Chain A
């Protein structure tokens, strides 16, 4: 079955780290560069994330995401470099186009912020199963219903897509045109989406009943098939990360 999750199954210590520690790492990688506004710190944060991604052997999987992000960032660089109101110092000129230093520096700050956030999230998304993440959050006290909603999306959406293609085939077999001009496609839209939506509603009702009889709303203390994933050094790592955030805060307040 096609999965819409980006998780990549590899063997690495990054994969072994529990999801909560990864969440704390995300907080660290986002907060510290904001609290301490220096380029060096931002570079270090991006660097750490990239090294971790490399250790997790998923660096290649990040390429499509980063290239999409860069596409957006290039426009930021161009617009800020050319038109930021505070622009004074001319950096270089290309014909009628003038690039200014202030704008470029500002664009660099934004770029680094985005990169720290994207790379930190990528560690979580690429090396953690969605179900594992949700399960550890449920253990920490998140409502199982919300957890179910999040996890089931990853399976129910591909199932609905499969239903769409089945219905498309069925309607085609009855002679409906589904290809051709925009108008033809538009006309085919309703007879395709009607059954999909109605079917999904009926399925949801039946699934809700099936969940009920399997004790989904039971008040009993839940147990888990798998033992909670713990990484030998996760306490140490968490402590260090939290300490780094606190340290950054203290530095900011004092200076």
Chain B
């Protein structure tokens, strides 16, 4: 079943001359994990915001086409309605702290209070996400006193606690060290296994290749490609779009080693290892 359907979406920010999103069409099935890639200002954030309804409700501006989120048409529903279906984590963890709560624990509760989750359920969910993102030890700290990485994990935890069916993450690992990024990807993976649909704008291609089912490549507001990581990263014109393939793909490309029985290059360490061992034999 299609969870998100985008048809001919066009959008222009107020006071802007050019289209930020230009005739975008794609659909996402329930439980899929989609990576959105492309250079800075290609439209990744705008696309994410168009799915939760910030575009056009928050910004206004010229809007065309149709976005359906779990059957709700974004244009005709309020952000509050859509936020029950789709949650979004933004790039900057600092501005996602509400500023009205004194502890991390209360901060995560903020969204749950707004959507009317009963108290016992609320406490269960908070404990669960604190554990999932390994921030239990700071639950009584002031949200502003956290490190960048902890704050980012708290921001993701706050959205995930609201249990949306769709989660959009806009560069959620920008402040995290490699270990922290890996933890976030694994947590997201476990959400995917629970059947949650995930869209993530991300620049760490190795991670995208390893975890995503499909990759959406954007360039100046247009969809260039929407396919499996193997197909997208095997393209030989990636640098035109400001993207570099995972290092494993580049090595295999240089050596001319393709995946066994396919016309694409390996994109993860495991695949590359298998393909190279195969070649040595």
Residues of A within 8 A of B (CB): 1, 129, 131, 147-148, 151-152, 155-156, 158-159, 203, 206-225, 227
Contacts and interface: CB of A to CB of B under 8 A. Distances in A.
A221 B114 contact: no
Main secondary structure of the interface of A (DSSP, over half): helix
Given A223-B122, A225-B106, A225-B122, A215 B99 contact: no
A11 B57 CA distance: 47
Contacts of B117: 223
A64 B92 CA distance: 40
23 contacts: A1-B144, A129-B102, A148-B100, A152-B98, A155-B144, A206-B92, A207-B96, A209-B49, A210-B90, A210-B95, A210-B96, A210-B98, A210-B155, A212-B79, A213-B87, A214-B159, A216-B114, A218-B80, A222-B114, A223-B116, A225-B112, A225-B113, A227-B119
A155 B99 contact: yes
A227 B123 CA distance: 12
A195 to B, nearest CB: 15
Contacts of B145: 1
A207 B162 contact: no
B78 interface: yes
Given A206-B95, A214-B158, A225-B106, A152 B80 contact: no
A151 B52 CA distance: 27
Contacts of B110: 214
B69 interface: no
Contact of B116 (A159, A210, A214, A221): A221
Contacts of B78: 217
Contact of A212 (B80, B101, B113, B155): B80
Among A1, A158, A221, A225, the one with the most B-chain Cβ atoms within 10 Å of its Cβ is A225
A208 B117 CA distance: 22
Interface of B: 49, 52, 54, 58, 78-80, 83-84, 87-88, 90, 92, 94-102, 105-106, 109-119, 122-123, 142, 144-145, 155, 158-159, 162
A147 B110 CA distance: 13
Contacts of A215: 80, 83-84, 111, 114-115, 162
A156 B98 CA distance: 9
A151 B96 contact: no
Contacts of A159: 99, 144
B98 A207 contact: yes
Given A214-B114, A223-B116, A206 B79 contact: no
A9 to B, nearest CB: 11
A129 B103 CA distance: 13
A218 B111 CA distance: 10
Nearest to B123: A225
Contacts of B119: 223-225, 227
Contact of A156 (B83, B84, B99, B155): B99
A152 B118 contact: no
A203 B111 CA distance: 19
Contacts of A210: 90, 95-96, 98, 155
A94 to B, nearest CB: 53
Contacts of B100: 131, 147-148, 151-152, 155
Contacts of A227: 119
B202 to A, nearest CB: 19
A211 B115 CA distance: 12
Nearest to A153: B99
A214 B58 CA distance: 14
Contacts of A212: 54, 58, 79-80, 83
B159 A220 contact: no
A214 B114 CA distance: 7
A210 B100 CA distance: 13
A163 to B, nearest CB: 10
A211 B98 contact: yes
Contacts of B114: 214-216, 218, 220, 222
A159 B95 CA distance: 11
A214 B83 contact: yes
Contacts of A208: 58
A152 B113 CA distance: 16
Contacts of A155: 99-100, 102, 142, 144
Contacts of B54: 209, 212-213
Query: 3 closest pairs, A vs B, by CB?
Result: A214-B111, A206-B95, A215-B114
